[in-house]
Chain A
C-alpha cells in the first residue's frame, strides 16, 4: 500500500535531517579529534617546557631546548604584514570589478584573480625564489644607509626574509579576499547606492556607502585571507630564510610555525623533539582558533553597532506622524 504523501514527506525529511546532521556532527568530531591528538602527542613537550614553550626563543634540537616564540612571532608578523599589503589591493580589485569596471573586462579580470587562487603554493615558492627574492634583494641593496640603520630595515641584503614572505603571502591571499569582497559588494541592494546618488553623492561616496553596508562581509573576506596566510607553509619556507629570531626588521630572515614543522618533522627522531614539533602544531591550532573567535567577535560587535544605530535612526522620524 502506498504511503500517503504527507507521511512520505515526513519520513524523507527525517532521513534528510539525520543525514545532514550527521555530516555537521562529523566536522565537530574532526576538530575535537585533531585537538585531542595534537594534545596527546605533545604531552611530553608540554610536561617538559610548560609555559616556557610560548615565551622562550631558543630552538635547539641538540640540547633538547624548545621555545616557540620566534615561530609564533614570525607567523603573526608575516600574516599581519601580508594583510596590510593585500587588503587595500584586494578591496580595490573588488570595488573595481563590482562597481567601476566596463562590462567586457569584468569576467576576464574576475577569472584571472580567481586563477591566482588555483596556483599551487610550491609554484608560488619557486616564483618567489627565482623572481621575487632577487627583486627584493635589489631593493634592499638600494635602500639608503640612513634607512638601513632603522630597526625596520636593518640587516644584510639577503633577499630572503620577512619582506619576501609577506609579499608572497599577500599575492596568495589577494584572490580570496577580493573574490569574497566582490560577492559581498554585489549583494549590497541597489537601493543603497541609488539612495546615495539621490542625495548627490559622488561615486566614491556611493561606494563608501556600499562598503559600509557590507562591512561584516568585508571583514569576513579579510579574515579568510588571514586564515590562509597563517597556515601557508611551502611558499613561505622557501623565501623567509628559516632563521628563528624575534626582530622587527623586514630584511631579516625569520621563521614561521608551519614552516618549522614542515622542515623538521621528517628527521625528528627523538621523542621530545617530535613532541615539541607537534606542540607547535597545537599552538598553531590554538592561535587559529583564537583569531577565528576574535573575528567572530569583531563581526558580532560591528553588527551590534549597526543594530544599535538602526532604532535610533528610526526613532527620529517616528514622532513625525503624531505631530502631523
Chain B
C-alpha cells in the first residue's frame, strides 16, 4: 500500500515535471540490461508497457544469453543482468559487489518424440529419460519404457537422442532435473548450460531440436514448453516428485514454483526441478533478473526497483498471452520483501 502511494507520488511528480518543466528537465532516463534469451519476449513487453506509462523511462535489454548477461553485469557494463541459471558461488565472488537474484517468470522443458506408429501420449520417469540420455536405453520397446506405457505398442526402433548444441538455459533445466533424479547422470554429465553429452546429436536452438525430432524416426528431444505449445509439438508426461504423471502446462509449471516456496532460500537461487506438489510439473525453472545490492547509481536503482515492483504485480498478467508461466503469489510476496534489501 505504502509502495503504491509512493509509486503514485512518483508518477504525479513525473507528470508534473512533464507539464511544467522545459524539455531539458524531462530528460529520458535510459537503463541498460543484458542476458538470457528465453525471457526476452516478456521482458521486452514489460519494458515497452512500462515505457508507455512512464515515457521518460527507457529500459533496454540485449538478449545475448545468460553467460553474457552475467559477464556484462560483473564488468559493470550493464545496470542489470538476467540469467536462466543462478550464478555460481565463484561467479558471485568475482563480481565487484553483492548481486541479488530475483525470479521474474517460469519456464518448463518437455520431452518431445517421434516414434513411427505411436500416436499416444507417452509417460516418462526421470530415471528413464536419464537412461535414454546416457545411452543406456537404446530401443523404444525397452522394458523400462514399456512398463510405464501399458497398452501402447512400442516398436523396436533405435532411439535417436537429440539435445541442444548451443549453450542454453533449456539444457540447464533438463540436465538439472536428470541429475537430481539419477545420480549417475549427475556424476557423468553434470549441470551446466552446455555439457559433454554421452549420446546423441545436437540441434541449434529449440527449432533445431524440434526439426531434428520431427524428421528423424525414433528421435527424442527436449524443447521449451512455450515453443512446444506455440508450434503444436506433442510431448510426453513426466512423473513428478509425488509419483503422479503430469502433463506440462503453464499451470503445472506455476504449481512447481508454489511447491518450492516453503523451502525457498532467501537469495532465491533455487532449482525447482522435481518440486513437491501433486500437480507440479517436475522440469520447471525460474528465470532471474540480477541486480547489485548496493548500486552506485541510486537514481537508476530507484527507477529499476519501481519497475520491478510493477513487473511483479501488474506485469505478471502478460505472462499467459506470451506463453510464460506466471510466478505464484507466495513467491511474489517474498520478492517484494526482498527488494528492500537493495540499498537505494
- Chain A residues in contact with chain B, CB under 8 A? 58-63, 65, 129-130, 133-134, 137, 156, 158-161, 237-238, 241-243, 253, 255, 259, 262-271, 274
B192 touches A263 (CB 8 A): no
How close is B160's CB to chain A, nearest CB, in angstroms? 6
Contact with A along B312-331 (1 / 0, CB 8 A): 00000000000000000000
A61 touches B211 (CB 8 A): no
For the complex, is B232 an interface residue (Cβ under 8 Å from A)? no
How close is B85's CB to chain A, nearest CB, in angstroms? 8
A264 touches B166 (CB 8 A): yes
Contact with A along B146-166 (1 / 0, CB 8 A): 000000000000101000011
A115 vs B91: C-alpha distance when bound (angstroms): 48
A262 vs B87: C-alpha distance when bound (angstroms): 22
Q: Which 6 A-B pairs have the closest CB atoms?
A: A267-B167, A266-B65, A242-B202, A242-B165, A62-B190, A269-B67
Q: A238-B204, A253-B201 are in contact. Are A61 and B68 (CB under 8 A)?
A: no
Contacts of A274 in B (CB 8 A): 67, 71
How close is B83's CB to chain A, nearest CB, in angstroms? 8
A129 vs B208: C-alpha distance when bound (angstroms): 9
A62 touches B68 (CB 8 A): no
A276 vs B191: C-alpha distance when bound (angstroms): 19
Q: A59-B196, A60-B196 are in contact. Are A242 and B190 (CB under 8 A)?
A: no
Contact with A along B165-206 (1 / 0, CB 8 A): 111110000000000000000000111111111001111100
A158 touches B189 (CB 8 A): no
We find that the number of chain B residues with CB closer than 8 angstroms to chain A is: 39
Q: A237-B165, A243-B200, A263-B167 are in contact. Are A61 and B67 (CB under 8 A)?
A: no
Residue of A nearest to B168 (CB): A267
For the complex, is B340 an interface residue (Cβ under 8 Å from A)? no
For the complex, is B53 an interface residue (Cβ under 8 Å from A)? no
B204 touches A269 (CB 8 A): no
A269 touches B71 (CB 8 A): yes
Residue of A nearest to B193 (CB): A267
A264 touches B194 (CB 8 A): yes
A241 touches B167 (CB 8 A): no
Contacts of A160 in B (CB 8 A): 201, 212
B167 touches A134 (CB 8 A): no
Contacts of A259 in B (CB 8 A): 165
How close is B321's CB to chain A, nearest CB, in angstroms? 27
21 A-B pairs with C-beta separation under 8 A: A58-B196, A63-B196, A129-B208, A129-B211, A129-B215, A156-B158, A156-B160, A160-B212, A237-B204, A242-B202, A259-B165, A263-B202, A266-B68, A267-B66, A267-B67, A267-B68, A267-B166, A268-B167, A271-B94, A274-B67, A274-B71
Contacts of A159 in B (CB 8 A): 215-216
Contacts of A262 in B (CB 8 A): 166
Residue of A nearest to B138 (CB): A156
B195 touches A137 (CB 8 A): no
For the complex, is B334 an interface residue (Cβ under 8 Å from A)? no
Contacts of A269 in B (CB 8 A): 66-67, 70-71, 87-88, 91, 193
Residue of B nearest to A266 (CB): B65
How close is A200's CB to chain B, nearest CB, in angstroms? 56
A140 vs B168: C-alpha distance when bound (angstroms): 31
Contact of A243 among B87, B166, B202 (CB under 8 A): B202
Contact of A158 among B71, B160, B166, B169 (CB under 8 A): B160
Contacts of A238 in B (CB 8 A): 204, 208
Contact of A242 among B87, B192, B204 (CB under 8 A): B204
Contact with A along B220-244 (1 / 0, CB 8 A): 0000000000000000000000000
Contacts of B204 in A (CB 8 A): 237-238, 242, 263
A54 vs B303: C-alpha distance when bound (angstroms): 50
For the complex, is B297 an interface residue (Cβ under 8 Å from A)? no
For the complex, is B64 an interface residue (Cβ under 8 Å from A)? yes
A134 touches B215 (CB 8 A): yes
Contacts of A263 in B (CB 8 A): 165-167, 194, 202, 204
Residue of B nearest to A254 (CB): B201
Contacts of B203 in A (CB 8 A): 242
A179 vs B216: C-alpha distance when bound (angstroms): 37
Contact with A along B66-95 (1 / 0, CB 8 A): 111011000000000000000110110010
Residue of A nearest to B36 (CB): A267
Q: Which of B169, B192, B201 has the most CB of A within 10 A?
A: B201
How close is B219's CB to chain A, nearest CB, in angstroms? 9
A270 touches B91 (CB 8 A): yes
